Structure 1
């Protein structure tokens, strides 16, 4: 379904995990970010792109390589692909493809497209790197912590910030890579908000916002959670750790495992094995 829309930006939201896909239309190009999940949802995105593209080129932007974010890669076979160097050199490409196939198999879904890992045409390898297409400028920042290959993308002059799996309105940090890197990414997020005129923020899961105060609240929400988690792990306070697990919205086996991963990564980085 369409969650947010203005004259240049359309944000689709999947029924699964409130995962977003952003379609950006400028004078110069069309950008499709993380097309996902279910076949009919991706088809809706494709139909929208066909209606708005005109004679513009289409670019696929992947915020990171988690399987739910790359599942629609082959739905746009003629698009040029933008992603981080970490995504290009991802060490677990085969595992990500297995997860996609497993998802289709578990729900008896015939894959509507070939299952494949994105091949990158425009590789982003450093903070502040830019791609310019006519009057449209994309500015990138490496965003590690949730994964090793994440990207923040600013689309100017629209003032759009595509944050990937950070700065959700409801989802607390899931640390798959590094808690220390996650903290650094949140500090980077503060600088992005300070140094760019952000008018719209789209997280990978959850609601789009056009409110500056709400973006600051989301940064602080993640910082507060991480600070309390690190303190609870360093202090070996099991009760506080359990309380933090209960703060996870939509409690499930999935969130239970994510909390367990969070604790293990924090312990490894801040306490030692």
Structure 2
């Protein structure tokens, strides 16, 4: 379904994990971000791109290589691909593809395009790196912590920050890479909000926001959760850790496992 739309930006939202996909109509290019999940949802995104593309070049941006974010890669053949250097050099490419194949097999899903790991045309390897997409400048910032290969993208001309799996309205930190890096990335997001004219924040899961107060709330929510987890680990306070676990949205076996991963990774780094 379409979560947000204006004259240039359309944000699609999957029924699965509230995962977002974004299409931005630039002056002379189309930017597609993380097309996902189900075949019908990917087809809806593709139909929208076909309707607005005209003779513009297509650019396909991946915020990171979690399998839900790369699942629609080959639905857009010929697109110019963008991602981080850590995504380009991902050590578990075949594992990510196995997760897609297992998902499709479990739910009897068929796709009209092949399942492949993204091959990148444009590789981002440093903070502040800028790339011209047609006549529009994009600014990129490495965003490790959730995963090693995360990437923030700022489209100043449209006032957009594409945040990947950070700054959701309901998701607390899911740490698969590093707790320290996650905190640094959230602080980097705060700096981006200070130094770029961001009017629209689009997370990888959940709702967009046009409110600066809400953007700040999401930054503070993540930092507060990480700080309280650090204090609980240092104090060996299992009751406090249990409370942190219960604060996750959509409490489930998945969120409880992610919480345990958060604690394990932070404990290793602290102790």
TM category (shorter chain) comes to over 0.9
Aligned to 2:7: 7
Aligned to 2:235: 235
Q: Does 1:183 align with 2:183?
A: yes
- Deviating more after overlay: 77-86 vs 132-141: 132-141
Aligned to 1:89: 89
Equivalent residue runs for 1:130-169 within 5 Å: 130-169=130-169
Alignment deviations for residues 198-229 of structure 1 (CA, whole Å, 9 cap, x no partner): 01110000001111111011000000001001
Q: Give the distance between the partners of 2:172 and 2:37, measured in 1 at CA.
A: 21
| Contact 2:156 2:198 (8 Å CA) reproduced | no
Alignment deviations for residues 77-109 of structure 1 (CA, whole Å, 9 cap, x no partner): 110100000000000101000000000011011
What SS does structure 2 have at the residue aligned with 1:157?
helix
Give the C-alpha shift of residue 251 in structure 1: 0.9
Alignment deviations for residues 33-67 of structure 1 (CA, whole Å, 9 cap, x no partner): 00000000000000000001111000100000000
Equivalent residue runs for 1:36-47 within 5 Å: 36-47=36-47
Question: How many pairs were matched up?
Answer: 271
Alignment deviations for residues 182-205 of structure 1 (CA, whole Å, 9 cap, x no partner): 010011111100100001110000
Find runs of 4+ consecutive structure 1 residues off by over 4 angstroms: none
Alignment deviations for residues 113-161 of structure 1 (CA, whole Å, 9 cap, x no partner): 2110000000000000001134311000000100000000001211110
Q: Give the distance between the partners of 2:133 and 2:74, measured in 1 at CA.
A: 23
What SS does structure 2 have at the residue aligned with 1:45?
helix
Aligned to 1:220: 220
Alignment deviations for residues 7-53 of structure 1 (CA, whole Å, 9 cap, x no partner): 11000000000000000001121010000000000000000000011
| Contact 2:64 2:149 (8 Å CA) reproduced | yes
Aligned to 1:20: 20
Alignment deviations for residues 207-259 of structure 1 (CA, whole Å, 9 cap, x no partner): 01111111011000000001001111121111111110000111111101100
What SS does structure 1 have at the residue aligned with 2:172?
coil
Aligned to 2:55: 55
Q: Give the distance between the partners of 1:255 and 1:118, measured in 2 at CA.
A: 27
Aligned to 1:208: 208
Alignment deviations for residues 164-193 of structure 1 (CA, whole Å, 9 cap, x no partner): 000000000000000000010011111100
Indicate the RMSD between aligned Cα atoms, in angstroms.
0.7
Aligned to 1:255: 255
Q: Give the distance between the partners of 1:115 and 1:26, measured in 2 at CA.
A: 28
| Contact 2:19 2:204 (8 Å CA) reproduced | yes
